[in-house]
């Protein structure tokens, strides 16, 4: 063996050895209970970041542990086309070349993004290999695989047939820059100061932060309990600048405390107003279009951007003496989660899923622990979301994604929904002139079906054997986007929860606990860390110190420190292999102590792994291998080498097994260097030490 372990010399060779041995592919055995993790599919458009390194390490540790315990173990890899994210990144790339998405036809743009994504996907998959991910590549899936799309279409059709999909005019969260609507979950709240204008509406004064929308007002509403306005109910207010009369109505949703307690009702540009408008059968007027420009207003404002129009309208209101006062208020505004710009609530016609019945069933599953969250705090968050979800807008105005299988009749304007095939004729009137909707599905609609969609499209029998899967291990920020939707859609389509346990993980932060981001300049590149210190060092460093559910700090120093641990393991192997095996040695007290300590360590590590306390398991092993085995036992054994050899070999073999899930490369390399000294040819396929 070399004096020093040089990871670069061995890692890729060892990975090939595992992959070629078929160790990543489980053997289905009906008599045994399988252990299954569906990998949260990384975005196919991005290389892996340091957070992925921790996620991959966590899942690979659990997978290798259960595989060694003899369970048929499946870790299913995949990639997500990540609709909005990818198109956003791609459009930025186009912009750098002085182009925009509108310079290309739908087909050309799709093809260009496809090629770009395929290239990145390959890089991402290479990174998973570099990190040692022992996932089953024969079952690798992509969210745009044709058979996956087929499943997504089937689910949509089933939802439609069950009356759970509707096309509705609703207030949507529209980002004029991204050019698409978003669901409630993709919106961030930003606190900022704005002017609150008190405007003269004749008999009432109303307060608004958005004077440019007054032309879309259709009523003024007051709370029925508000004594101040009782005598005005049924009368009319007057819209300034255009002198249109507006009915004064009563509605319990009006907040008596806000402004003057009289609210201008603008159903076209505010979600609450839309609700009030529907209740009172008021018209919906839009004065801002999807590009964020003014429409349906007095001529002088038409075509202005909403922000410019605000200034112009305020100026005119001022000149007309219609502004009674201006206050500054601190309030929350909705911003796009991608570009952080203002979201424009717009009325638009989109496809919606009625989530109430789905959420109700999912909530029941969480309450009954059909799905268990390993950390109670996340169970609470999931329940909160399940109780508060509004109908889910699943259409996106982008090309990168799964196109919605809905065709509109050019004659009767009704929609025909299929499982993906172009319909021959309109399902309402029989006309043959139909046009497919240009929108695509929200990415989370397809990834929400990932656990059953992947397993239903693989080997026959995979679904019935591996579903429901054992553990889902996503980052906490996608709990509402993804986890609860997988639970809803899994129960709805596959009849069972998609996974039995949810093991949410925290984020990787820098050594000062700061969030890692390009703008802070504290990015740690996983590739660079592996190059310099080896995959094992990065894996152990990324899980060291914190429970999975919590955020974790990482620095180059901590990775370097774990490289030293890998070297220590290597040196132990080298020392033990200096002498041939000796079955006969007589055991003394030292031997008995180390064997007892090994037993205790095995017990503790097994227990900790079963409880997902992988950071503590690593620390227990570190302590045992470095201090008890190397510092104490090996030092003493030097004086009675031949006698101790039997124990040395045994403790090394068992230590390598225990260490393998955490540091798979160095342990397998030593195992191979032993030239058949141990009980199986491959460490990855050896059995877990029994406590």
Supply the DSSP symbol for 5. Answer: -
Assess contact for 206 and 259: CB atoms under 8 A. yes
| Site membership for Zn ion, residue 531 (CB under 5 A) | no
374's enclosing H/E stretch is none
Q: In the structure encoding, which two tokens stand for residue 14, read together?
A: 């060892």
The residue (of 391 and 414) whose beta carbon lies closer to Zn ion is 414
From residue 246, how far is each of 171, 269, 319 by CA, in Å?
21, 17, 22
Q: Using CB under 5 A, which of 278, 296, 374, 431 touches Zn ion?
A: 431
Cβ atoms 237, 228 nearer than 8 A = no
Of 54-62, 107-115, 363-371, 419-427, the window that binds Zn ion (rule: CB under 5 A) is: 419-427
Closest separation in Å from C-beta 434 to Zn ion: 8
CB of residue 399 to Zn ion, shortest distance in Å: 16
The nearer residue to Zn ion, 429 or 523, going by C-beta atoms, is 429
Total residues binding Zn ion (CB under 5 A): 14
The CB-of-274 to Zn ion minimum distance in angstroms stands at 21
Looking at the Cβ atoms of 298 and 430, the one nearer to Zn ion is 430
Sign of CA dihedral 165, 169, 175, 176: positive
Nearest residue (CB) to Zn ion, 93 versus 387: 93
For Zn ion, which is the closer residue by CB, 177 or 636? 177
Least distance in angstroms from the C-beta of 411 to Zn ion: 5
Give min distance, CB of 424 to Zn ion, in A: 12
Phi, psi of 263 (to 5 degrees): -115, 130
502 binds Zn ion, rule: CB under 5 A: no
Do the beta carbons of residue 672 and residue 18 sit within 8 Å? no
| Least distance CB 340 / Zn ion (angstroms) | 8
Least Å from the CB of residue 427 to Zn ion: 8
Nearest to 248 by CA among 258, 239, 240, 257: 239
Question: Could you tell me which stretch among 66-74, 302-310, 408-416, 477-485 binds Zn ion (CB under 5 A)?
Answer: 408-416
Closest CA to 109 of 398, 394, 339: 398
CB of 86 to Zn ion, least distance (A): 14
Q: How far is the CB of 348 from Zn ion (least distance, A)?
A: 15
Q: Distance between CA 456 and CA 494 in Å, rounded?
A: 10
CB-CB contact of 397 with 83 (8 Å):
no
DSSP 371: S
Q: How far is the CB of 337 from Zn ion (least distance, A)?
A: 8
SS3 content of the chain, % helix, strand, coil (to 5): 45, 20, 35
Burial class (CB in 10 A: 0-12, 13-18, 19+), 555: middle
Question: What is the C-alpha to C-alpha distance for residues 55 and 503, in angstroms, rounded to an integer?
Answer: 11
Tokens 């890089």 map to which residue? 123
Give the sheet arrangement for strand 434-436, strand by strand: 415-417, 406-409, 434-436
Q: CB-wise, 176 or 526, nearer to Zn ion?
A: 176
The nearer residue to Zn ion, 411 or 603, going by C-beta atoms, is 411
Q: Is 478 exposed, middle or buried (0-12, 13-18, 19+ CB in 10 A)?
A: middle
Residue 168 CB, nearest approach to Zn ion (Å): 19
Residue number, 85 or 316, with CB nearest to Zn ion: 85
Q: Which is nearer to Zn ion, 329 or 332 (CB)?
A: 332
Nearest distance, CB of residue 290 and Zn ion, angstroms: 12
Q: Which two tokens stand for residue 158?
A: 């089933």
For residue 433, state whether it binds Zn ion (rule: CB under 5 A).
no
Range in contact with Zn ion (rule: CB under 5 A) among 233-241, 330-338, 518-526, 556-564: 330-338
Check: CB of residue 164 under 8 Å from CB of residue 489: no
Using the minimum distance from each CB to Zn ion, give the nearer residue, 431 or 600: 431
Residue with smaller CB distance to Zn ion, 341 or 545: 341
φ and ψ at residue 240, rounded to 5 degrees: -65, 165
Does residue 397 interact with Zn ion by CB under 5 A? Answer: no
**428 lines the binding site for Zn ion (CB under 5 A):** yes
Contacting residue, 63, 79, 144, 175, with Zn ion by CB under 5 A: 175
Interface residue with Zn ion among 409, 417, 502, 537 (CB under 5 A) is 409
Instruction: Single out the segment in contact with Zn ion by CB under 5 A; choices: 66-74, 173-181, 358-366, 436-444.
Output: 173-181
From 333, 412, 523, 642, residue interacting with Zn ion (rule: CB under 5 A): 412
Least spacing, CB of residue 94 vs Zn ion, in Å: 16
**Closer CB to Zn ion, residue 268 or residue 292?**
292
Are 353 and 391 in contact, with CB atoms under 8 Å apart? yes
Q: Which helix (H) or strand (E) holds 186?
A: none
Q: From CA 338, how far away is CA 368, in angstroms rounded?
A: 36
Long-range pairs of 609-613 with CB within 8 A, sequence gap ≥ 24: 609/61, 609/62, 609/65, 609/661, 612/62, 612/374, 612/503, 612/548, 613/547
Using CA atoms, how far apart are residues 653 and 679, in angstroms rounded to an integer? Answer: 8
- Closest contact distance (angstroms) between CB of 425 and Zn ion is 8
Nearer of residues 180 and 446 to Zn ion, judged by Cβ: 180
Position 177 contacts Zn ion (CB under 5 A): yes
Q: Judged by CB, which is closer to Zn ion: 430, or 681? A: 430
Q: Which stretch binds Zn ion (CB under 5 A): 76-84, 156-164, 255-263, 411-419?
A: 411-419
58 and 536 in contact (C-beta within 8 Å)?
Answer: no
Q: How far is the CB of 178 from Zn ion (least distance, A)?
A: 3
In whole angstroms, give the CA distance from residue 600 to residue 658. 12
Q: Restricting to residues 333-352, which ones interact with Zn ion according to CB under 5 A? A: 336, 338-339
* Selected binder of Zn ion within 207, 365, 404, 426 (CB under 5 A): 426
**One residue of 283, 332, 369, 429 binding Zn ion per CB under 5 A:** 429
Let me know the angle formed at the C-alpha of 614 by 612 and 618, rounded to the nearest 5 degrees: 155
Of the candidates 492, 464, 486, 450, the residue with the CA atom closest to the CA atom of residue 371: 486
Nearer to Zn ion, 195 or 428 (CB): 428
Residue 178, interface with Zn ion (CB under 5 A)?
yes
List residues near Zn ion by CB under 5 A: 175, 177-178, 336, 338-339, 409, 411-412, 414, 426, 428-429, 431
């Amino acid at each position: 063996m070399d004096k020093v372990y040089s990871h670069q010399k061995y890692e890729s060779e060892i990975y090939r050895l595992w992959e070629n041995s078929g160790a990543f592919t489980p053997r289905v055995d009906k008599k045994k209970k399988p252990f299954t993790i569906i990998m949260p599919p990384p975005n196919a458009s991005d290389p892996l970041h340091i957070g992925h390194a921790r996620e991959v390490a966590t899942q690979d540790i659990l997978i290798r542990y259960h595989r060694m315990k003899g369970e048929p173990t499946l870790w299913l890899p995949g990639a997500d086309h990540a609709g909005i994210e990818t198109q956003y990144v791609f459009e930025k790339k186009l912009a750098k070349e002085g182009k925009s998405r509108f310079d290309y036809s739908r087909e050309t743009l799709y093809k260009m993004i496809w090629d770009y994504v395929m290239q990145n996907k390959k890089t991402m998959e290479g990174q998973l290999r570099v990190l040692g991910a022992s996932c089953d590549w024969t079952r690798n899936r992509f969210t745009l695989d044709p058979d996956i799309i087929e499943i997504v279409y089937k689910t949509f059709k089933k939802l439609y047939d069950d009356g759970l999909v509707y096309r509705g005019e609703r207030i949507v969260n529209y980002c004029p820059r991204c050019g698409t609507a978003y669901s409630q979950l993709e919106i961030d709240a930003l606190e900022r100061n704005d002017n609150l204008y008190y405007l003269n509406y004749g008999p009432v004064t109303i307060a608004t932060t958005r004077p440019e929308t007054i032309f879309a007002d259709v009523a003024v509403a007051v709370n029925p309990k508000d004594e101040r306005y009782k005598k005005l109910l049924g009368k009319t207010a007057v819209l300034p600048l255009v002198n249109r009369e507006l009915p004064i109505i009563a509605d319990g949703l009006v907040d008596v405390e806000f402004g003057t307690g009289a609210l201008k009702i603008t159903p076209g540009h505010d979600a609450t107003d839309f609700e009030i408008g529907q209740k009172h059968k008021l018209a919906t007027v839009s004065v801002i279009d999807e590009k964020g420009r003014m429409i349906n207003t007095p001529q002088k404002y038409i075509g202005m951007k909403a922000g410019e129009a605000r200034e112009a309208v305020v100026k005119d209101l001022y000149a007309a003496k219609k502004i009674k006062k201006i206050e500054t208020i601190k309030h929350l505004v909705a911003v796009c989660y991608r570009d952080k710009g203002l979201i424009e609530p717009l009325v638009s016609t989109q496809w919606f899923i009625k989530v109430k019945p789905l959420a109700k069933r999912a909530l029941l599953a969480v309450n009954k622990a059909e799905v268990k969250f390993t950390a109670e705090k996340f169970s609470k968050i999931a329940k909160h979301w399940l109780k508060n979800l509004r109908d889910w807008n699943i259409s996106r105005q982008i090309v990168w994604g799964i196109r919605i299988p809905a065709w509109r009749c050019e004659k009767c304007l009704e929609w025909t929904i299929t499982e993906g095939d172009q319909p021959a004729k309109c399902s309402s009137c029989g006309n043959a002139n139909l046009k497919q909707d240009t929108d695509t599905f929200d990415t989370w609609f397809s990834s929400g079906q990932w656990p059953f969609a992947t397993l239903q499209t693989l080997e026959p029998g995979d679904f019935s054997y591996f579903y429901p899967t054992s553990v889902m291990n996503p980052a906490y920020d996608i709990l509402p986007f993804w986890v609860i939707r997988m639970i809803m859609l899994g129960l709805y389509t596959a009849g069972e929860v998609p996974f039995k346990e949810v093991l949410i993980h925290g984020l990787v932060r820098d050594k000062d606990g700061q969030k890692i981001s390009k703008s802070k300049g504290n990015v740690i590149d996983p590739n660079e860390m592996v190059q310099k210190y080896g995959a094992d060092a990065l894996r152990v460093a990324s899980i060291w110190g914190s429970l999975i559910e919590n955020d974790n700090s990482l620095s180059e120093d901590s990775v370097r420190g774990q490289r030293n641990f890998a070297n220590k393991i290597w040196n132990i192997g080298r020392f033990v292999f200096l002498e041939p095996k000796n079955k006969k040695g007589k055991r003394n007290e030292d031997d008995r102590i180390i064997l007892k300590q090994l037993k205790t360590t095995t017990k503790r590590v097994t227990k900790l792994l079963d409880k997902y306390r992988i950071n503590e398991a690593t620390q227990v092993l570190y302590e045992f291998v470095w201090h008890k085995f190397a510092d104490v036992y090996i030092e003493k054994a030097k004086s009675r080498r031949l006698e101790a050899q039997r124990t040395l070999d045994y403790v090394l073999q068992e230590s390598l097994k225990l260490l393998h899930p955490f540091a798979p490369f160095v342990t397998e390399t030593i195992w191979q260097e032993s030239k058949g000294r141990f009980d199986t040819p491959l460490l990855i396929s050896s059995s877990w030490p029994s406590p």
